[in-house]
Amino acid sequence: MCLFWCIFACLWPAQTYAESTKTVQKITYPLSSNSEKCFGPETAQICAAKPLHSSLNLKIDVDKKQISAQAEIRFQVPAQAKSAAFLFTQRAEKVWLNGEPVAFKRQLAPGGHEWLLLIPLNEKGLQKEQQLKLLYPITGLTAWGLRWKKPFHWRTDFSDSSDARFSNVLIPSGFESERHPMVWNFTFRGLTQPLQVFSNATDYSERGKGLYRLGFDQRFNLAMPYFEFESAPLRSFNFAFQGLYSPIPVTLVIPKGLGKSQGLSEKQVFAEAEKRIRSTLFEFEHQYGPYAFPQLLVKLYSLQTGDLPLSQEYSMEYGGAIVSRLELIPHEICHMWFGRGASPQDAQAGFVDEVICDWYDYRTPFSNTQLKRPPSQLVPTQSWSLRTPEAVYAEGQFIAGLQGLFHHKQHNLFVSLGRFYRQYRLKSYAVADFRQFLEAEYGGDLTPFFSRFLEGQSEY
Ligand SMILES: [Zn+2]
């Protein structure tokens, strides 16, 4: 299944998970807005860096199997900040702030499991834009999807838990609520054949042999870019979906021969995928509002569960791109509305889009027996983690339950969710925002329901 906010909750040490569960049970509503982005004593406040622009330069020597990477980030921090914090997983070798080398340190994010790169700031000009440049030693790229073997293959990858989000590794400005423009420059040396490039970049160009520039506009955050460089033969097929608001160009990509073992031609696979894409786009635009991205890239890697070994099963949504097996296309396209179009502000809110899209997988009607279930476990409220517990990913009955409540008052939950989408389109929401919005639509207190489903209260 697609794992939205992050995919590694299953790797949480059991003890940590138990501790966070305890914390969750103590939370009383309203949940914090998660707007706290500074911590530490007043004299040494560490604040989240707000990225204004990120760029990444990658040089890949295919023959020598060497890579070098440099990231540059323009950012701002609140005036009281004494240090700027960047969420990241990779340790930079050298760091420059506004052109000057700086000493930096790495600290485990409070309440989270990610690292913060802490950059001391000068006293002067704290409110002005700062510029950070980072140089990385590159190791473990295989885990990010780079295959040195032929055919050459590299894509945004999340198959390895610790390096799950490529962009967060090398552009450590990774607080997901912060959409900002990004540029990724790739320079390949030693290629023996041209690469096929598939990406959801909003500004793409080839600048000579082996030089690719992928630009992403302000609609994107660090979880949303997708790229794929391939020398293996891939088939692609383009069509335009006439959306309600504007045409949506769709690119469909499959490996050569996909479907053959099931007796399907590539043409039949394309036709089936196109049908699902069209019907899902139609339904979501009518139900919720305009698609938020300039295009849709769909990479299909298999047809259904069981076609590939479990270790190779993956589906994921990006900003205007999905990687999916055929049967999960509606689920992943759902995330173009909930998850990427309107996006969670933090890991705690990461459950919202997943319960909605999980509900769409089954369209389960609500029944009272669903209340006799263990509650979901939201992560504790804090802004410094990218992790959402896996348990909240398959909770479509949360939506079914809400639907039942709304129905009793002759309200239509999905009309309300449409208004929610349109309000938060290309913006981010916290759990409290979601709940307050629904309460206004419902015309009543939803505390008991949220408590029962999310907090672990024993009574509903
Ligand atoms: Zn999902």
Q: Average of pLDDT values for 192-204?
A: 90
Whole-number Å distance, alpha carbon 80 to ligand 1 midpoint, is 38
CA distances from 108 to 85, 112, 198, 252, 420 (A): 11, 7, 35, 40, 34
283 CB contacts (<8 Å, ≥6 apart)? none
CA torsion, points 163, 165, 166, 169, in degrees to nearest 10? -60
Question: 1 C-alpha to center of ligand 1: Å?
Answer: 6
Q: Does residue 353 surpass a pLDDT of 80?
A: yes
What separation in Å is there between the alpha carbon of 228 and the centre of ligand 1? Answer: 21
Does pLDDT of 29 surpass 60? no
Q: What is the pLDDT of residues 34-89, one digit of tens each?
A: 345 787 888 888 888 888 999 989 888 888 878 888 889 899 888 888 888 887 76
Distance CA 423, CA 408 (A): 25
Å from CA of 404 to ligand 1 middle: 22
Cα–ligand 1 centroid distance for 102 (angstroms): 40
Contact present, 368 and 353 (Cβ < 8 Å): no
Amino acid (1-letter code) at residue 19: E
Output the pLDDT for position 48.
Answer: 84
Structural domains for the chain: 9-34+345-455 (no CATH), 38-230 (2.60.40.1730), 234-337 (1.10.390.10)
Type of residue numbered 413: L
Beta-bridge mates of residue 251: 238, 297
- Look-up: residue for tokens 């396209």? 333
Which pTM was predicted?
0.86
Span 87-100, average pLDDT: 82
Q: Which amino acid is at 338?
A: F
Q: How far is the CA of 181 from the centre of ligand 1 (A)?
A: 25
Q: How far does residue 356's CA lie from ligand 1's centre (Å)?
A: 9
Cα(351) to ligand 1 centroid in Å equals 9
State the CB neighbour count (10 A cutoff) for residue 279.
13
- CA of 4 from ligand 1 middle (Å) equals 5
Ligand 1 centre from 457 Cα, in Å? Answer: 26
* Ligand 1 centroid from CA 339, angstroms: 8
Q: How many CB atoms within 10 Å of residue 151?
A: 12
State both tokens at 328: 């999960």
pLDDT of residue 30: 33
Of 55-64, 243-252, 348-357, 393-402, the poorest mean pLDDT is in: 393-402
Cα dihedral sign for 204, 205, 209, 211? negative
Helix axes 266-288, 329-337, angle to 10 degrees: 30
pLDDT band at 124 (very low <50, low <70, confident <90, very high): low
**For residue 373, how many other CB atoms are within 10 A of its CB?**
11
Q: How many angstroms is it from 118 CA to the middle of ligand 1?
A: 32
Say how many Å lie between the CA of residue 399 and the centre of ligand 1: 14
Helices 396-408 and 413-424: angle between axes, nearest 10 degrees: 120
Mean pLDDT for all residues in the chain: 79
Residue 274 binned pLDDT confidence (cut-offs 50, 70, 90): very high
- What's the 105 CA to ligand 1 centre distance in angstroms? 35
Asked if 46 and 116 count as a contact pair (C-beta separation under 8 A), the reply is yes
CB burial readout 339-358, b (16+ within 10 A) else e: bbbbbbbbbbbbbbbbbbbb
Q: Which pLDDT score, from 0 to 100, does residue 65 have?
A: 79
